Chains A and B, each alone.
Chain A
Amino acid sequence: MTGSSLHGGPDPMARAAVVSVPARSVARPWVSHNTRRMMFGYTLLAPAALYVMLLVAAPFLFSLYLAVSDASVGDPVAHFVGLENFRAAVEMDLFWLALRNSVVFFVVAAVLKSLLGTSLAFLLLQNFKGKKLIRGLVVIPFTLPIAISVLSWKWMYDSQFSVINWVLSRLGLIGQFGSEGWPVWLGDPKLALAACILVNVWRTFPFSAIVLLAGFTSVPVEVLDAAKVDGCTFFQRFRHVVAPMIFPILMIGFLFDTVFTLSDLSVVYLLTQGGPANATKILPVLAYQIGIQAGNLGRGAAIALFLVPLLLPALILVLRNIKRREW
Chain B
Amino acid sequence: MARVLTEARTVPPMSQRRKDIRRHLLIYAGLLPFLIIAVFPIYWMLITAFKQDPDLYRMDHIPFWFNMKPTLRNFDILFNQTNYGAWLLNTFTISAWVSAITLLTAVPAGYALARLKLPGAENTGIAIFLTYLVPPIILFLPLSRIVAELGLQDSWWSLVVVYPTFTIPFCTWLLMGFFKTVPMEIEEAARVDGCGQAGAFLRVILPISLPGVLTSVIFAFTLSMQDFLYGLAFVSPGDQKPVPVGVPTELIRGDVYYWGSLMGAALLVGLPVAVLYNFFLDRFIQGITGGIGK
Contact = CB atoms under 8 A, between A and B. Distances in A.
Query: Does B bind A?
Result: yes
Interface of A: 2, 21, 36-38, 40-45, 47-49, 51-52, 55-60, 62-63, 66, 71, 116, 119-120, 122-123, 125-129, 134, 136-153, 155-156, 160-161, 163, 166, 177, 202, 206, 210-211, 214-219, 221, 224, 234, 238, 242, 249, 252-253, 256, 259-260, 262-266, 269-270, 283-284, 287-288, 291-292, 297, 300-301, 304-305, 307-308, 311, 314-315, 318-319, 321-323, 325, 327
A44 B108 contact: yes
A9 B161 CA distance: 45
Interface string B176-217: 010010000000000010101110010000000000000000
A124 to B, nearest CB: 8
Interface stretch (B10-18, B70-78, B136-144): B136-144
A126 B6 contact: yes
Interface in B56-94: 56-57, 59, 63
A45 B137 CA distance: 27
Contacts, number: 320
A143 to B, nearest CB: 4
A288 B229 contact: yes
B138 A63 contact: yes
Given A45-B118, A143-B278, A202-B37, A127 B2 contact: yes
A327 B168 CA distance: 20
A215 B168 CA distance: 26
Contacts of B293: 327
Interface centre among B109, B124, B142 (most CB of A within 10 A): B142
Nearest to B180: A327
B233 interface: yes
B245 A147 contact: yes
Contacts of A123: 27, 30-31, 34
Contacts of B156: none
A48 B289 contact: no
Given A56-B134, A145-B270, 5 more contacts: A221-B3, A238-B5, A300-B141, A305-B138, A325-B291
A1 to B, nearest CB: 12
Contact of A48 (B2, B39, B48, B106): B106
Contact of B244 (A40, A119, A148, A177): A148
B116 interface: yes
B35 A134 contact: yes
